[in-house]
Amino acid sequence: MAGTALAGIGATEFSKNSGRSELQLAAEAVLAALDDAGLAPSDVDGLVTYTQDSNQEIGLAREVGIGDLTYFSRVHYGGGAACGTVAHAAMAVTTGAAEVVVCYRAFNERSGRRFGQPDAGLGGEPSSLGLEMSWHVPYGLMTPAAWVAMFAQRYMHEYGVKSEDFGRVAVAMRRHAATNPAAWFYERPITLADHQASKWIVEPLHLLDCCQESDGAVALVVTSADRARDLRCTPALIAAAAQGAGAGQMMMTSYYRDDMTGLAEMGVVGRKLWEISGLRPSDMQAAILYDHFTPFVLTQLEELGFCARGEAKDFIHDGGIEIDGHLPVNPHGGQLGEAYIHGMNGIAEAVRQVRGTAVNQVPDLENILVTAGTGVPTSGLILTRGSES
């Protein structure tokens, strides 16, 4: 993967009500990413997005003036697809299937279709997913918050984790967002007392354990490291990219594994990232962890090898994942603090950190790890400054 690079990033303004369609949001982000790299739509020959994105590749290509496409791909599993889009793009560039690939995700989640709302129809489809959901949807277990709450309860029981431990994640993310002008929660930090006083959503999850609903879009340009050197901006080299699903995997409800306290799919991704890159957790100066719900930040730290199983509560204590801690996590504020664009805004932040242009810049950063959605088949990246950049 060292021969490929993330060479441009673009985002729309993150908001609670953009008033723009998802196609408009996506087009703005793609054009901004190309401008950032110093490329034109005519330079693009590949597009990658999520299966859940409403914008078909050919429709977006028409909207922004992209001509012939030699590569296009859609990655499955919601937020778990975020880093997977970059993995697909990097493989296309490496194999010669395309020279310049744009990855994109547009969300009209707040003012359009509200994500995470109960849907009783989930358990009625004659499909593998419908069969899986039929075990619990008829009994009211219908939302992502409820699904994660089940994992969190077991995790707390096994390792003595408290709600306050989840709250420390929320406090860290909001501290970072408070100094990020692009964040929805800019200048609005919270305290642990605020977290504990916020209303219950599904025990043990408080409101402030749950990510936002946002409108916005992010696009990323992937090309070869050789071409990236001649572009307008400093690239981030892709040291490793991986996707992973664990044994007994289900969609956010893998309740039938022997161990329900971990994220086996993230363990698969982590092991592959370390193997491909030749790096280790100790080589990371920061991490962008998918923080749709606070408990899964703790379990990711364990699955990725930053600490042992059950020790994440101690790892994050006393500001361990804050900007001046031993592993800064989500310096942009993450999905809890900046915006929820299904993880793509986290990849954009990782590129800025490698470039040295982030608002909350981690000093002397050489390597950064990025993860995508958790509880689902997922993906991850290691980006590096690298000698080639």
Q: Which residues are catalytic?
A: 290, 340
Q: Distance between CA atoms of 344 and 348, rounded to whole angstroms?
A: 7
* DSSP 8-class letter at 199: P
Q: Tell me phi and psi for residue 281, to 5 degrees.
A: -50, -35
The sign of the torsion formed by the CA atoms of 120, 123, 125, 130 equals positive
Q: Quick one: which H or E segment has residue 219?
A: strand 215-224
Encoded tokens for 68: 């012939």
Length of the chain in terms of residues written? 389
Q: Distance between CA atoms of 357 and 360, rounded to whole angstroms?
A: 9
Q: Distance between CA atoms of 178 and 59, rounded to whole angstroms?
A: 37
Q: Quick one: which H or E segment has residue 218?
A: strand 215-224
Q: Distance between CA atoms of 48 and 55, rounded to whole angstroms?
A: 11
Question: Any alpha helices (H) in the chain, and if so which ranges?
Answer: 22-37, 57-64, 82-95, 128-133, 144-159, 163-177, 192-197, 225-228, 264-277, 295-303, 312-315, 334-337, 344-355
